[in-house]
């Protein structure tokens, strides 16, 4: 864990110890931490702020093809000349098969990483709390995806939240 991320997680740990041991909103933690002087943001580069806002907007753009909503912009993480970059393309305008193949594979890998992390926390919780009812985790998402697909199809062009 980087020094910055360690400092951030320590803020929540301190909040739990010093203020409230119950699950809480990050709004409460932020208000408390700022009042305590625990966080002072570093100056930010305007290019970095713009790049982050642009990437977030690109992730949000959706289109409807008559049957389904889909994300219109995709990215691929790559290294060019030793520099890590995210390359962006429009699915309908300039995304080649190879680009899309890499993008989909990277997204799938992200899902696998999330599933692995979720399984680790469920396994830990179950082992650390042997007297509690066991948390159940189903990692086969086939039925969930089919339900969302059916729901998205029935909503049509009126609602693009399913994308």
Residues 60-69 pLDDT 10s: 999 999 999 9
Q: What is the mean pLDDT of the chain?
A: 93
Query: 52 with 126, same domain?
Result: yes
Predicted confidence band of residue 155 (pLDDT cuts 50, 70, 90): low
Query: 122 with 89, same domain?
Result: yes
Task: Flag whether pLDDT at 152 surpasses 90.
Answer: no
**Residue ranges making up the domain that contains 20:** 1-42
Provide the number of structural domains found in the chain.
2
What local confidence, expressed as pLDDT, does residue 161 receive? Answer: 55
SS3 assignment, position 52: helix
Does 84 fall in a domain? Answer: yes
The pTM of the full predicted model, rounded to 2 decimals, is: 0.76
Does 163 fall in a domain? Answer: no
Does 15 fall in a domain? Answer: yes
**Helix (H) or strand (E) run with residue 87 in it:** strand 83-90
Does 87 fall in a domain? Answer: yes
**Helix (H) or strand (E) run with residue 101 in it:** helix 97-128
Query: 66 with 145, same domain?
Result: yes
């Amino acid at each position: 864990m980087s020094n910055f991320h360690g400092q951030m997680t320590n803020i929540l740990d301190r909040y739990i110890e010093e203020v409230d041991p119950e699950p809480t909103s990050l709004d409460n933690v932020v208000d408390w931490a700022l009042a305590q002087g625990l966080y002072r943001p570093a100056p930010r580069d305007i290019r970095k702020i713009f790049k982050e806002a642009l990437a977030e907007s690109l992730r949000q753009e959706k289109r409807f093809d008559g049957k389904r909503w889909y994300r219109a912009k995709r990215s691929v993480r790559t290294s060019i000349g030793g520099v890590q970059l995210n390359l962006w393309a429009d699915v309908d305008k300039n995304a080649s098969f190879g680009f899309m193949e890499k993008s989909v594979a990277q997204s799938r890998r992200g899902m696998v990483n999330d599933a692995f992390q979720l399984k680790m926390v469920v396994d830990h919780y179950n082992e650390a709390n042997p007297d509690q009812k066991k948390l159940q985790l189903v990692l086969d998402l086939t039925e969930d995806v089919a339900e969302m697909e059916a729901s998205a199809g029935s909503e049509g062009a009126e609602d693009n939240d399913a994308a």
